[in-house]
Amino acid sequence: MGCDTGVKQKRFFIETWGCQMNEEDSEKLSGMLESMGYAKTDIKKEADIIIFNTCCVRENAELKVYGNLGALKNLKKSNPGITIAVCGCMMQQRGIAENIKKRYPFVNLIFGTNNIHRFPELINNAMQSENTIMEVEDDEGEIVEGVPIDRKSKIKALVTIMYGCNNFCTYCVVPYVRGRERSRKSKDILDEVKKLGQDGYKEITLLGQNVNSYGKGLDEDINFAKLLYMLNDVDGIQRIRFMTSHPKDLSDELIDAVKNCNKVCKHIHLPLQSGSTRILKKMNRNYTKEEYLSLADKMKSKIPGLAITTDIIVGFPGETEEDFEETMDVVQRVGFDSAFTFLFSPRDKTPAADMPDQIDDDTKHKRFNRLVDLLNTIGLQKNLKYVGRVVEVLAEGISKNDESKFMGRTDTGKLVNFKAGLDVTGKIVKLRIDEAQTWSLNGELVD
Ligand code: SF4
């Protein structure tokens, strides 16, 4: 037990919007702050440092950041000693950092995604300055290894294997804000995963905007399939997941790796975006409806029991009723286990924002609802097939919806709630599935 020195430990609060890569960046910010002697708090008004890690992929997330910043004005007035920092993808968009500096002059620090590793120095400078410190670098620069990280979970870890994207899908801002593709050296990834295994982590999720192009540009004989074989041998780690895979780059070698590596989960997240070849072309996705369908068929036939999940955008400019029906057709034929569905939202400086024939909100919402209904029906059918089966589940902790139960996931990514007499967190348990709902399963422990 530590002694009470009477000095109150300083605290920090981080709010994160957006994808898992942002979550991992926030874990790094937490890790750096903890090494600086700060402790994490979930209560904003108790914090000495407040950080907003922003996302610019969807308009909604951006609006929330502005709303939250506005709400900090009074807090800063009543407690001028707090330090407020804003970072993340939104700051990489031209004009936004300057705008925040002007509209919210009480913000102490604004920085981008490419200089997270310099955070301790930046926050110290900000604390000593009367003015807002702003450092947003366009140049993606080198990958910095060894940044301290405070992971949210002690069981599952996010591991970024590459940064940026070269694909320029016409609706997406990522290539503009996260820069071109850069891969981490395989040895650095392997060392990190070995350490995670030694520290008791059971599952890793490898992250990249397009993991299928991992290794390009590196000075070593490596690609994503080879990386999976390498990581499959790491002691302690029992499950390996990855996202996201661009269909145009998914090789036979990778399908074989998913099949052959016993720790690689039999689940692939393969964004479809649209089922219409005409719309896919306008999106610059570089595959056709038929190519997507035959890829999905090939994977299903090579990897028995494979779960496929996807992302779909509804209401892309020019999407006709026939185009939308093509999307519904692919959803039926592939039989996705689940999907992230999005209403098209025009993002500044992307080509799609200026395309003619933008779809009106009413049509978008109606199509969206039809799609979600279909996905829910298929999701439930898929889940019902689990009833009566015995599955292995990695127990992650207490269920959010029912505190008398634990929750975990199958290797196909299905959420299962179950009762257990002992704390089984972090263990792989065998469960017999006795009930299926659209989004989750219920199970019972078997010996
Ligand atoms: S692959 Fe397309 S959607 Fe994905 S990050 Fe790159 S540009 Fe964006």
Determine whether the shortest distance from the Cβ of 21 to ligand 1 is under 6 A: no
The CATH topology of domain 390-445 is OB fold (Dihydrolipoamide Acetyltransferase, E2P) (2.40.50)
Extents of the domains making up the chain: 11-135, 151-264, 266-350, 390-445
Is residue 247 within 8 Å of residue 277, measured between CB atoms?
Answer: no
Question: Distance between CA atoms of 396 and 157, rounded to whole angstroms?
Answer: 12
pLDDT bin (cut points 50, 70, 90) of residue 58 is confident
pLDDT bin (cut points 50, 70, 90) of residue 93 is confident
pLDDT bin (cut points 50, 70, 90) of residue 3 is very low
Residues 6 or more apart in contact with residue 20 via CB below 8 angstroms? 158, 205, 207, 243
- Mutation test residue for ligand 1: of 170, 173, 174, 316, the one with most atoms within 8 Å of CB: 174
Class of domain 11-135: alpha beta
* DSSP calls for 396-420: EEE-SS-TTSEEEE-TT--EEEEE-
In the prediction, which pLDDT does 2 show? 40
Whole-number Å distance, alpha carbon 431 to ligand 1 midpoint, is 37
DSSP alpha helix (H) spans, 162-270: 174-178, 186-198, 224-232, 252-260
Atom of ligand 1 nearest to the CA of 173: 8
pLDDT bin (cut points 50, 70, 90) of residue 4 is very low
Cis peptide before 438 (omega within 30 of 0): no
Taking residue 357's Cβ as centre, other Cβ atoms within 10 Å add up to 10
Residues 6 or more apart in contact with residue 33 via CB below 8 angstroms? 12, 40, 49, 150
Question: Distance between CA atoms of 330 and 323, rounded to whole angstroms?
Answer: 11
In the prediction, which pLDDT does 353 show? 93
Biggest CA–CA distance in the chain, Å, is 70
Q: Which residue in 67, 82, 77 sits closest to 126, CA to CA?
A: 82
- Mutation test residue for ligand 1: of 209, 281, 283, the one with most atoms within 8 Å of CB: 209
In the prediction, which pLDDT does 94 show? 76
pLDDT, tens digit (0-9, with 9 covering 90-100), for 111-122: 988 878 889 989
In the prediction, which pLDDT does 1 show? 37
- Mutation test residue for ligand 1: of 92, 113, 210, the one with most atoms within 8 Å of CB: 210
Taking CA atoms only, the protein residue closest to ligand 1 atom 2 is 169
Whole-number Å distance, alpha carbon 285 to ligand 1 midpoint, is 9
Whole-number Å distance, alpha carbon 238 to ligand 1 midpoint, is 29
Determine whether the shortest distance from the Cβ of 196 to ligand 1 is under 6 A: no
Please tell me which residue, 7 or 191, carries the higher pLDDT value.
191
Whole-number Å distance, alpha carbon 10 to ligand 1 midpoint, is 39
Whole-number Å distance, alpha carbon 165 to ligand 1 midpoint, is 6
Q: What average pLDDT is seen over the chain?
A: 93
CATH of region 151-264? 3.30.750.210
Written as six digits, the tokens of 276 are: 């219409």
In the prediction, which pLDDT does 152 show? 87
Q: How would you classify the pairing of strands 239-243 and 203-207?
A: parallel
Instruction: Tell which CATH architecture fits domain 266-350.
Output: 2-Layer Sandwich (3.30)
Atom of ligand 1 nearest to the CA of 168: 7
Question: Distance between CA atoms of 284 and 287, rounded to whole angstroms?
Answer: 9
pLDDT bin (cut points 50, 70, 90) of residue 59 is confident
Question: Distance between CA atoms of 366 and 120, rounded to whole angstroms?
Answer: 48
- Please tell me the number of Cα atoms within 13 Å of 329 on its side-chain side: 13
Q: How would you classify the pairing of strands 239-243 and 267-269?
A: unpaired
pLDDT bin (cut points 50, 70, 90) of residue 7 is low
In the prediction, which pLDDT does 6 show? 55
Question: Distance between CA atoms of 105 and 212, rounded to whole angstroms?
Answer: 42
pLDDT bin (cut points 50, 70, 90) of residue 141 is low
**Whole-structure pTM value:** 0.86
Amino acid at 355: M
Least confident of 253-257, 264-268, 388-392, 421-425: 421-425
pLDDT, tens digit (0-9, with 9 covering 90-100), for 315-344: 999 999 999 999 999 999 999 999 999 999
Written as six digits, the tokens of 353 are: 């924002």
Residues 6 or more apart in contact with residue 435 via CB below 8 angstroms? 387, 441, 442
pLDDT bin (cut points 50, 70, 90) of residue 144 is confident
In the prediction, which pLDDT does 136 show? 83
- Mutation test residue for ligand 1: of 20, 22, 160, 167, the one with most atoms within 8 Å of CB: 167
Whole-number Å distance, alpha carbon 316 to ligand 1 midpoint, is 15
Taking CA atoms only, the protein residue closest to ligand 1 atom 4 is 209
The answer, yes or no, to whether residue 142 has pLDDT greater than 80, is no
* Element housing 204 (H / E): strand 203-207
pLDDT, tens digit (0-9, with 9 covering 90-100), for 94-113: 788 899 999 999 999 999 88
In the prediction, which pLDDT does 419 show? 95
Amino acid at 345: S
pLDDT, tens digit (0-9, with 9 covering 90-100), for 345-369: 898 889 999 999 999 999 999 999 9
Q: Rounded to the nearest 5°, which phi and psi values hold at 420?
A: -150, 140
How many Å separate Cα 33 from the centre of its chain?
22
Whole-number Å distance, alpha carbon 209 to ligand 1 midpoint, is 6
Determine whether the shortest distance from the Cβ of 306 to ligand 1 is under 6 A: no
Domain pair 151-264 / 266-350, same fold: yes
The answer, yes or no, to whether residue 201 has pLDDT greater than 80, is yes
**Percent of the chain with pLDDT strictly greater than 70:** 98
Question: Distance between CA atoms of 293 and 307, rounded to whole angstroms?
Answer: 15
